[in-house]
Every structure is written in C-alpha cells, then in structure tokens.
C-alpha cells in the first residue's frame, strides 16, 4: 500500500499561484464544510482552484488530473469517483482536465497522467501516478483519511441532500505510535524515529511501525532541502551517491516514484562495488516505503535483480 503524508510534499509543489483566483466560497450549512460546486464530485478549472484549496482545510480533496485522450485515465477515473462517493461526504473529488487547465497541471508538475494528488489543509499529498486497481485505491483512500485526521481535517460535505456521514470512531493508537505521531506533528522527526524503533524492538512484526519508520526517515531527510539546489548539485556530480540520494528522496516525496527508482538504478549500475551496497540498501528502503504490491516496486525490483546478476 502506498504510504502518504501531508508533510511529504511541502516545498516540492508550489500551489500559491493558484490561490485567490475565485471569489469567496459559498456559505455552507452550519456544521458542514463548503463544497466548491456542490456534491462530492466537482469539475475544477484554473479559475476555481483557489476555492478547492480553501475547501481542503475542512475536507480532504482528491484531485484527479486527466485528459480525454488518456486511455489509463478512463480506467482510473471511474474507480476514483466510485470510491469517493462511498466515503459519505468525507472526501471531495476535484476533476481537472489538464488540456483545458494547464496552470493546475503545471503547479502539480504533472509529467504524465493520470495523476491523482490529494489536498489536506492546502498541502498536496501524493496518491497515484498511472492506473491502479480498485483494491489499491481503497487502501490509499483509507490512509488518506488517517492522514487527514492526524492533521485535523475531519469535516464532510452533504451528499445528495442528506446529512454528512457521521465520523466513525477510531481505535486508540498504541502508545509508541501515538508518541511518534505527536512528534511528527511537532516536527521532531528524531523523536518519531526513536518511537517507531522502540515499537519495532518490542514487536519486529509491527508493519505499521515499519512503514511509519520509513516514512518519517524520508521526511527527516527532505526537511529543509531546496529542490533546485539539490538537482543542480546532482547534475554536477552524477556519481556522488549522497547527491543522487537527495534528489531521489525529493522525487519520491513529490510523488515521482518511477523517477526516484530509475535514478537510483542508473546510479547502481554506474558506481563501484562498495557504493553499490549503499545504493541497494536505499532502494530496498524505498521499496518498503511504497509497498511490495505496487507495480512500480515490482518493475524496479526486476531491474535491480538483472543488474545484480
């Protein structure tokens, strides 16, 4: 399952140019969040995207970037819409035709479509690049709601004139997991890493702790990095392992999973045997972060195996 975090894209995607392009959102009924055009599935344009950004402060918004000519989009978009409607108003789907709305596509750095990105509190959150099966869509939507709750975005919008769905009660987190989440909220990634490590020491089979540890390590590594400077440094030193690691981390945090894997696999084939070990270990760490079931991980593992043997 893809792991997502509202902090993962901060600084990697700048949506500030799309703010303030539309008048104030319509007033919603008391206790409910405003929907951009009513309902849980809305068509969004360059002009109206500012309203969607504001809406994401109350309700998580899933942005589906598509085009009429895109075959995979026609496979994925109906699944995204179906799963959105099943959430009972706890998620809004914003559909964006990239041909008609190039400014949104540029802001999200959409190198290929379909591209699905969520917004939580105005911050972009990577979800999918390319068509994925319905089961994976459901898994990532569940994770999206968890991340939204962690960031205090728990509103909902009315669906078909009905009252918003009641929030399901969540089971309390184990103490070490709760400590890790609190540390992440405070920006103390070192303390979060330590909490997850303690959880794994107590239970080495704790998959949530393993996934959380990989995620927070990535957040720790990308914190404070300047994307342009990092890319320039990597271009100037193509065999500098740490420089390439930093770009791969930022690519992964920005949702460009294939780019991150391709960069490290190219690096693996170019460096000496001692450095290959470091690159392989980082690849395995990123594979675990994305999840073994992801087809991008399977493809990268296959290429890595061919390079090893």
User: Which one of 62, 70, 120, 137 is the catalytic residue?
Assistant: 70
Handedness of CA 231, 64, 68, 262 (dihedral sign): positive
User: Which one of 6, 35, 52, 73 is the catalytic residue?
Assistant: 73
Which three-class secondary structure state does DSSP give residue 134? helix
**What's the number of CA atoms in the CB half-sphere (13 Å) around residue 192?**
23
Cβ contact 82:26 at 8 Å: no
Cβ contact 215:4 at 8 Å: no
Is 286 known to be catalytic? Answer: no
Is 70 known to be catalytic? Answer: yes
Task: Please tell me the distance from the alpha carbon of residue 297 to that of residue 48, in angstroms, as a whole number.
Answer: 36
DSSP 32: S
**Strand runs labelled E in the chain:** 41-43, 61-66, 92-97, 115-120, 123-129
- Give the catalytic positions in this structure: 70, 73
């Amino acid at each position: 399952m893809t792991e997502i975090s509202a902090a993962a894209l901060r600084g990697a995607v700048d949506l500030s140019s799309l703010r303030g392009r539309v008048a104030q959102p319509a007033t919603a009924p008391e206790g409910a969040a405003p929907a951009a055009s009513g309902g849980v599935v809305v068509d969004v344009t360059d002009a109206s995207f500012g309203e969607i950004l504001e809406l994401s402060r109350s309700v998580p918004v899933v942005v589906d970037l598509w085009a009429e000519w895109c075959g995979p989009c026609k496979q994925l978009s109906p699944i995204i819409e179906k799963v959105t409607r099943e959430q009972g108003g706890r998620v809004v789907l914003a559909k964006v035709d990239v041909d008609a709305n190039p400014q949104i596509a540029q802001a999200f750095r959409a190198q290929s479509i379909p591209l699905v990105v969520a917004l939580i509190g105005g911050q972009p959150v990577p979800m999918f690049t390319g068509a994925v099966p319905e089961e994976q869509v459901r898994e990532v939507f569940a994770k999206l709601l968890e991340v939204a709750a962690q960031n205090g975005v728990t509103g909902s919008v009315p669906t078909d004139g009905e009252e918003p769905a009641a929030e399901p009660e969540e089971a309390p987190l184990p103490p070490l997991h709760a400590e890790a989440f609190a540390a992440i909220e405070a920006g103390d990634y070192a303390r979060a890493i330590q909490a997850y490590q303690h959880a794994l020491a107590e239970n080495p089979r704790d998959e949530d702790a393993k996934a959380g540890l990989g995620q927070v390590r990535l957040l720790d590594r990308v914190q404070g990095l300047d994307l342009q400077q990092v890319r320039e440094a990597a271009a100037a030193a193509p065999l500098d392992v740490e420089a390439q690691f930093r770009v791969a981390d930022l690519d992964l945090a920005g949702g460009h999973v294939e780019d991150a894997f391709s960069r490290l696999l190219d690096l693996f084939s170019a460096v000496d045997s001692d450095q290959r070990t470091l690159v392989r270990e980082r690849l395995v760490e990123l594979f675990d972060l994305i999840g073994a079931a992801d087809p991008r991980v399977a493809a990268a593992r296959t290429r890595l195996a061919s390079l090893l043997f």
